[in-house]
Structure 1
Amino acid sequence: MIMEATAIQSVEKNITMVALANVQPSNYNPRKNFDEASLAELSESIRQQGVLQPIGVRPIENNRFEIVFGERRYRASLMAGLEDIPAVVMEISDEVAEEMAVTENLQRKDVTPIEEANAYQKLIDSGRHDVQSLAVQFGKNESYIRTRLKFVSLMPEIAQLLEQDEITISVASEICRYGEDIQKEVYNKHLKEGVQYNSWRGMKASDVARNIERQYTTDLERYAFDKTLCLSCPHNTNNMMLFCEGGCGNCANRTCLAEMNAAYLTEKAVRLMEERPDVPLCHEIANYNEIVVERLTAMGYEVESLNYYAKAYPEQPEAPRKDEYDTTEEYEQAQSEFEQDLNDYTEECEEIRTRSEAGEIILYFRIESKDIVLCYVPKVTCTTNDTKQEQTLSPVEKLEKQDKRNKEIALEKTVEDTKKQILEVDMSDCKFGQDEDKMIYFFLLSSLRKEHFEAVGIEGKKPYSYLTDEEKINIIANLTSKQKAIIRRDFLIANFKNAYGNNATASLLLDFAQKHMPDLLADIKNGHNEVYEKRHQRIEEKKAVLLVQEQAKQEAEQSDKQQSEVGMQTEEQPQEENIAA
């Protein structure tokens, strides 16, 4: 990677013209949708000014080039009728090319949540990243990355609604907490185009969450625990109505339902660990039972958090029952299909077993919200805290690893409890110390601009990378007055992005600019004020014309009114004379 990075840096200095006919898009570009109107606008700009920023390509077979980044500029150049395009030619591997493409696209302003989710997932699946490293690289917090990764679990139809802004990110975040079965029902009954009654489009996320919980999570049919006690329970909706629609009913006692489910899953996990101690427990980012994970962790079991997609173990097909078919022919057809499915199932299980023994995949028991299932992942993507599991651990190593994890859990719990308790501490009378001052700069460093990395002692960083926590700790250890000023001002500049119109932030921005760039600010103001004065003059001229027209109209109306009154008086005089006579 270091050699490849060096090669990239050296080649980026040389920009060459490449024939568009020899350039082709790559299949790993996370950007799949290109707005036609926006492309047409860019195409017109390119037709007039040319391509201002080169695209990135790498050589492939037959003297052709594959786009690493800049596909939008490539498409717009084709529309503009160009024959050549400026490009940076890079000799890089598939892995580096994909990572650069994903990274460059993630830094776009118009990246969609689904594109973002798929891009983050690609980087994690590469085995070179986890949530923590992505948060550092893209300057996001871990919660943001995890929320986006959850969108990978959205069914395509709901993902498309999010892409089209038919539902909000908050609503999508609530829906992706549930499995595919609930997502399908929610989509078909409440989100699908044409649903006239009980549509959830436009609904607030809190209302959607409440509706899903009320309508779907209490359905006893969806739970795997023994429901014998539920049959006669007064909280079962089947026992509350004179007529019911069948099924197991819904549970009206959520506390009892959650406890029954958690107890069942915990017991099942313990039993599976006794039967298959070689298969570790895990859960994915979304759709898992937090209570069960906490209980198992407290019992000393290690439960890994997977940042990548785990494929479920195949389900054994169910044999058809003859009494369920009307004719012998239908039953024989079903039996034939079952035998084929069973054969496929057996072959798939054998393939999984062979790959597992060869070390190509790792088996897991995955804790879901209502069940625990067997699943597996390719070994190349299996990373836990940046450490690849390259060999099967011995029993002693597993215990040592478990002990290490237990210690980490103790620290995690300590931090969580401290975060809660520190809010209650009154420290208003304590003097603000130098150590606290350093802490402030640690957080301010998140806004440090890349052109100032060298000023704080960081050299050789990639143009699309961010400061790591370790680098920040090293920086704040020995800050000079000049470095502090740079960091504080970059923090101000980062927050000036919220300036607009005449709000308070805009006022502060202009004051800041007046201090540091008075001449440039004056030019900016003069340029816009000149445009304003011209527009103002035209408006005043139009107003003057309108005022003259309005005055003329009023005078005409007044004249007509006076004439009308004179006419009426003339008609009334003869009548008065007759009366007098």
Structure 2
Amino acid sequence: MQTIEYISTGDIRSSELNPRKTFDENSIAELSKSITEVGILQPIILRLSHFKKGLESYELVCGERRWRAAKQVGLERVPAIVREMNDQEALDLMITENLQRKDVSLLEEAEAFQNLITHRKYDIATLVSRFGKSEYYIRHRLKLNDLIPEFKNLLNQDVIGLGHATEICKLQAKDQKELYNNSYSEESRSKHWWTGFTIKQLKSNIEREFTLKLEEAPFSLDDKTLDKKAGPCTTCPKNTASNLILFPDSPSTGVCLDRSCFKRKSDIHFDRELKRVQEDEPGVILAYPGYLYGEEEKRVADLKKNGTPAVEVSWKTGWMEVSEPEKPEVPQESEFDDPDDYKEALSDYEVEVSDYEEQVKEYQEKLNAGVLRKAFMLAGNNKGKVVFLEPREQEESQSSGNTGTDYAGQQIQELESKDRRNQELTFEKLYVSAKGLLKDEGYHNITDQLSENEMTALYVIMLSRVTDELEVEIYGDQKNRYIKNEEKLPAALKLSPEQGLKIIRNWLRRELDSANPIYLISEAKALIEIARERYPEQLTQVELELQGKYLKRKEKIDKLIEDLKTSTGKSL
């Protein structure tokens, strides 16, 4: 049996271990009045503490409100039970006692549960058993610890309730901050005459603004390589399907709660797929919707500027996106109160099935005839996905009966154009590699005499700056080009032979530099031959790699062209 002692209030101190940091002064005042009238009915619990050298004192474990109230009314001694216990035992008792209080706040309860997990190594199952609460209850209380300070204050002030807090704490901290600034800060509340959201309104707002349905993701949800740190979406804790206790209404594939991670994965997937489609599927069209804004508009413009062929999907260009027909759902008798309504729904369903079968037949015919074209979307809602496109003017071709033949001819032209562009891209990349080899100071510091290739390159450049008389002699007509030269001669007369050679090579490299080697093809070829002469091994390696990739693409294009010719009996 434990002995109750009367300990001096001055020999007792608060414990730094106590997770409860705030005390309601009004409730302590009420307790003080009760103590004055009837005394302290339940003893406090203490443990010995040597916090001052040579002086023995007591550390509070349970009953700090009673001790504070006793000091407030001037009691010299309070009834107490003194126990021997270590820090872990004391903390366990403090937390348990706080959780058993009737006035424990939601956040105090959440912090207490977390303290037991952090300091006492409890797990969810132990907490469920210890306090007689459900796993759902424990997990939702623990999740409240993820609220940002602004929402914790609103919860403590009863501006938001438990239902609202439970939805908000599921968001990432940065999204909580955005939600707070947009809808819950004092400024936003006063600006919008705020009267509060219902829980249903809040959930709808969060789903619309801060979450993404994973079933609509352009990438595979179990792909581990998109973001090695985040891992696959199927096991990610930010996927609602991974925690059905917190998200009981989650769809089977889940909803992503981390928009930045979703975007990062989508961008990596897009870059990979674009490269794969360009290299392995030459028959696939690259397309983008007619409505583009901001970052997407700039991205598509950059791709087109760099030579990526792309078509706009809009009425203006004649391309339309075509979706595969969707099979109608069978009406369920349990969904209808009136049997006549159910019979009418069945009748309507039969008509819908007939229409669906006709649509599927038409869809398959278009696929087989090559009318529908597979397209990789560069932007828009379907960015990174493969869809089917149909040219609007194709309807007229179908009525003439020449759809397959005419369309095959159009595809052959597109593929041949793509092959020409692949040749150009291969040449441009070879040029860029050669330019890189000649970029550093090593080349223009060479003091050997100019080689035959360098002289040829020099002639190519200088031919654009010759006199009118020489133009007539070389080109056979008058180009009327004028080259200003008065400042060059005085400087050139002062150069040593070595300086002259350095300047020539520096000028030669600069003059052969071009962002569009196909347009300045002579200059580009001249630069390549210099690089081949000076850096034969490196350039040969690059050239072989590029040529190998080109031949691989060409083989696929040639096969597609041959298949189209064979299928239409067309000899081109």
TM-score, normalized by the shorter chain, greater than 0.5: no
- How does the TM-score come out when normalised to structure 2? 0.40
Greater Cα radius of gyration, structure 1 or 2? 2
